[in-house]
Chain A
Amino acid sequence: DAGVIQSPRHEVTEMGQEVTLRCKPISGHNSLFWYRQTMMRGLELLIYFNNNVPIDDSGMPEDRFSAKMPNASFSTLKIQPSEPRDSAVYFCASSPGQFNEKLFFGSGTQLSVL
């Protein structure tokens, strides 16, 4: 298995633009997580899905952030409009089940908003 696949690897955009981050979880995994990593705040859970259904989105910082999981093999995290303070590394992770704590992380998307 190729592991969790995220795209793009790097994204540079201007303030106000829409940004879409993509994630393909490991096949057969039922849970998917979006995390954000910054020097100031560390690793923060933004949202997680189980069987394509959002379970907890309390970490989503603002209405500018939205996440979808239309099927078991694909998820997106969208920021519209983007702001410089959104600059961070965004990680997607998946796990075999809702109560299986071993998370498999993708390599992340480095987002820079100018």
Chain B
Amino acid sequence: AQSVAQPEDQVNVAEGNPLTVKCTYSVSGNPYLFWYVQYPNRGLQFLLKYITGDNLVKGSYGFEAEFNKSQTSFHLKKPSALVSDSALYFCAVRDGGPFTGGGNKLTFGTGTQLKVEL
């Protein structure tokens, strides 16, 4: 089974400060990891993904995430937060196999509300 945990319901940060939104995962095979963002009354939007390769992944809007296999983590980061980054952030995982049966079944975390204040 695959699962993902986002330990913080809410993260508050001042504009201009660095931000981190935490995510840990559990899979039996290789993890495929993702971050999505949801703005009010909208669907989720893809930010970035890790499949293989460099542990530091860069994505949209200046966000990046670091894959840490030993800690089974995939934390989302941004060097300097903006008020416009305030939104709900979801981490997601898919078991990349082997023996997963294929398919594209993502498991999402419960979400972390990011609030960036002036």
* Also in contact, A100 and B104, with CB within 8 A (given A42-B110, A43-B90, A43-B111): yes
Question: B24-56: which have CB < 8 Å to A?
Answer: 32, 34, 36, 41-46, 49, 51
Interface residue tally of chain A, by bracket?
Answer: 20 to 34
Contact for B44 among A45, A101, A103, CB less than 8 A: A103
**A42–B104 CB distance below 8 A:** no
* Also in contact, A102 and B49, with CB within 8 A (given A56-B103, A107-B41, A108-B43): yes
Instruction: Considering the complex, give the chain A residue whose CB is closest to the CB of B94.
Output: A101
Q: How many A-B residue pairs have CB under 8 A?
A: 58
Residues in A with CB closer than 8 Å to B108 are 42-43
Instruction: Considering the complex, give the chain A residue whose CB is closest to the CB of B43.
Output: A105
Contact for B104 among A31, A104, A105, CB less than 8 A: A31
Query: Within the assembled complex, what's the spacing in Å between the Cα atoms of A104 and B46?
Result: 7
Residues in A with CB closer than 8 Å to B57 are none
Minimum CB–CB distance from B21 to chain A (whole Å) comes to: 15
Is B105 at the interface (CB under 8 A from chain A)? yes
Query: Within the assembled complex, what's the spacing in Å between the Cα atoms of A95 and B111?
Result: 21
Minimum CB–CB distance from B68 to chain A (whole Å) comes to: 20
Residues in B with CB closer than 8 Å to A100 are 104
Residues in A with CB closer than 8 Å to B106 are 45, 101, 103
Instruction: Flag A85-114 by CB within 8 Å of B: 1 or 0 each.
Output: 000000101010011111111111000000
Question: A26-64: which have CB < 8 Å to B?
Answer: 31, 33, 42-43, 45, 48, 50, 55-56
Hey, which bits of chain B sit against chain A, CB under 8 A? 32, 34, 36, 41-46, 49, 51, 90, 94, 102-111
